[in-house]
Chain A
């Protein structure tokens, strides 16, 4: 167990300019964070490996000296304190056991909320930031049904699939979701997810490798994905484009022997190219939460629909148009073409469906709204 002062020094050190997991681990190996902080800030002579690092990146020493001026241990500790963020290191009871012997384990974690969530069965749900409505609704459904079965839904709080999964999870009573984020606590990113971020911290836990105030720079997201994968027992990729970040999560999971599940999608849908290629590479297809519950060895007898559609079924043209929207997104032209209607007739049928909440329109495309439509 390390002291509060040491934790404060570690938090400050993690916030240094150009700090990486590797550098942090190498600074702290075999010495206390207080000594490591002194070495990095130039107050103490650097050890040979650190000195070699300074020689390789000549700017590093000066940047770290500058960082030490602004990021003092007292400040770092005070910021964590005020946000209710705990500084957790390996050996602490809160430290996720999966990260103890991970080949690329972080040196420190910043935790907000109840780490007990990570004691549950854990399923990662990830996917693209710009999914189809279908993809987002599937993520919300999985989140809800898994959370209702007592599973901790792990995701990244990003727009799109991540957010939908968490909103779904929060819809279940006694849910305890977990989020792994790429930036520091205290400044929710994306900003549109501020409320969601707070709800997740309230009901479950939010983990970050970096201290409060760290900006969401692009390179931090792939690193975040490795922690997300590592703490999950299995990972579901709902929709991902050809080179999506969720494929990194899937790869990190596969490298750790964690099963990857992917939701099959239409082969010409851009947001499903990545998930379909995962399936080609041997990921397990998943179409319902039962598959997941079975994989976890959980009781799946009561799995299934948790929400019921109370909306009166549309009739006539609207019913026909709704059936078309069940698959891929449709627009007025495609509906008119399929049914040999004129454009105005198709437009009216779709407009009425939209008004009744059966379909949602964006950019001229209509997608079916299912019982999870309010969560995407």
Chain B
């Protein structure tokens, strides 16, 4: 007897449709899985056998062959358990074939026959849109949000048997909430004082500029970075779907409603491996942090402490908005359009901000700042010096503007940019800048002076103008030309990452 059951596996952040073909025929009793299964799938034989027997179905004492088609592609993960079990029961005559036709099955089995959640159900459900999908209860909400097909949450194999035998209707599970209640984004109102850093954050949010905070320990770099997502607009429907797929694939807990609607915020530790940040690393090519931060914020604290290789490999995704990961025989691209926020100390002793503060030798400082590669530094439109908050501000108890207020201005500025040029200001090319960000003659004098004194490079010039464009967009009135105060402020948001001592050379 033969049965063919549709299911899916995960590959990167995408689902791939897999047909589980089961053949049960006379021969020496045995259970074989072919079609490039990896270790995790070969293990499923024992789970499936135990689960089927726990559900009260005798295991066929004949030869059982399972083929996973298309068979040239390597498959991984425990999500095929359920499909294999259903296939075996159908092929051995325990389930009527027509009862399972038109159904796809996703889920891992427990030895007791329970059906357990797996990561990546959202993208898998996406490729099974023409069928009704049987999924673990805990995965039901994500399957619902990404596909229009009917989703059948099932908790145990015996429930499924009852439905197929027409002894019971589809169970009506109270779909439990997997995701923790997403806490609200931290509010900018918690940041006391620090008007410059707050302003920089607002500009970063409005222009989509990558942002580097340079400041002493305790100056609040991490606190500031965590407040950027709260200033960003909610995700568009298509972005939300994309992000939900990626989060599902990466096993990140989803919000109760299933769909990720707020920009994600990820802060990997600097000891993280290249694979965990960039993605890949297993047969299923799991999405890395840069993809989980897609449409959101990736925060790299202590930037110089990150592996140099990691810093180099994220440059390409920063440029392309997606990352291509692969093993020898398989590749996939995973979306990774994130806004990068990084933080570093000004020097190893951390006190290098204020004149006369630092005790590091020049060589030490050069070594520290030299760990951040130049090309990566180039991506930061905003490089903001952050100083410890002033005592008076800390004690005053005055809260700054809340995220909601700032987010309104950000939304207006973003709308202005999109209406003008179709992209946020961070995406403006040099040619676009001449068109969309003309500079007043006084402001041009300032820029020329900076360049003539060797304090502003060609790239720096474009960066300043992009940032200035965003500052102008954040103004009360829409302006076309960028004036001198705006340029002066933009220049202040371009801290030198070189140490203080080294920039003060002998006369």
Contacts and interface: CB of A to CB of B under 8 A. Distances in A.
Contacts of B491: 347, 351
A284 to B, nearest CB: 22
B486 A239 contact: no
Given A130-B500, A348-B484, A348-B488, A364 B506 contact: no
B446 A133 contact: no
A105 B500 CA distance: 38
Contact of A344 (B194, B356, B390, B486): B486
Interface string A245-277: 000000000000000000000000111100000
B503 A362 contact: yes
Contact of B385 (A128, A272, A344, A363): A363
A374 B115 CA distance: 77
Interface in B489-507: 489, 491-492, 495-496, 500-501, 503-507
Interface stretch (B74-82, B337-345, B347-355): B347-355
B242 interface: no
Contacts of B503: 362-363
Interface string B279-297: 0000000000000000000
Interface in B324-381: 346, 351-359, 362
B446 A351 contact: yes
Interface in A156-180: 159, 163, 167
Given A343-B489, A351-B446, A363 B496 contact: yes
Interface stretch (A71-79, A291-299, A328-336): A328-336
Contacts of B195: 333, 336-337, 343
A223 B199 CA distance: 50
Given A333-B196, A333-B387, A363 B352 contact: yes
Nearest to B352: A363
A343 B199 contact: yes
A365 B354 contact: yes
A214 interface: no
A192 B502 CA distance: 10
A303 interface: no
Nearest to B359: A241
A18 interface: no
Nearest to A193: B506
Nearest to B503: A362
A344 B496 CA distance: 19
Contacts of B471: 344
Contacts of A271: 355-357
A272 B446 CA distance: 34
Contact of B387 (A331, A345, A362, A375): A331
A293 B491 CA distance: 45
Given A362-B500, A363-B346, A351 B488 contact: yes
A129 B362 CA distance: 10
B501 A130 contact: yes
Interface string A163-204: 100010000000000000000000000101101100000000
Nearest to B497: A363
B507 A363 contact: no
A133 B355 contact: yes
Nearest to B443: A348
A130 B385 contact: no
Contacts of B353: 363-365
B449 interface: yes
A373 to B, nearest CB: 9
B489 A344 contact: yes
B390 A337 contact: yes
A231 interface: no
Contact of B354 (A195, A239, A270, A348): A270
Contacts of A190: 362
Interface string B387-423: 1001000000000000000000000000000000000
A128 B355 CA distance: 12
B29 interface: no
**Closest CB pairs A-B (n = 5):** A271-B356, A344-B485, A364-B385, A347-B488, A132-B356
Interface of A: 128-133, 135, 159, 163, 167, 190, 192-193, 195-196, 239, 241, 269-272, 329, 331-334, 336-337, 343-345, 347-348, 350-351, 355, 362-365, 367, 374-376
29 contacts: A130-B356, A130-B500, A131-B355, A133-B355, A135-B356, A163-B506, A167-B506, A270-B354, A271-B355, A329-B354, A331-B385, A332-B489, A333-B194, A337-B195, A337-B390, A343-B199, A343-B489, A343-B492, A344-B489, A345-B485, A347-B485, A347-B491, A348-B485, A351-B491, A355-B446, A363-B352, A367-B355, A374-B507, A376-B507
Given A192-B506, A344-B489, 12 more contacts: A130-B356, A130-B358, A131-B355, A131-B356, A135-B356, A192-B505, A239-B356, A241-B359, A329-B354, A332-B489, A337-B195, A363-B346
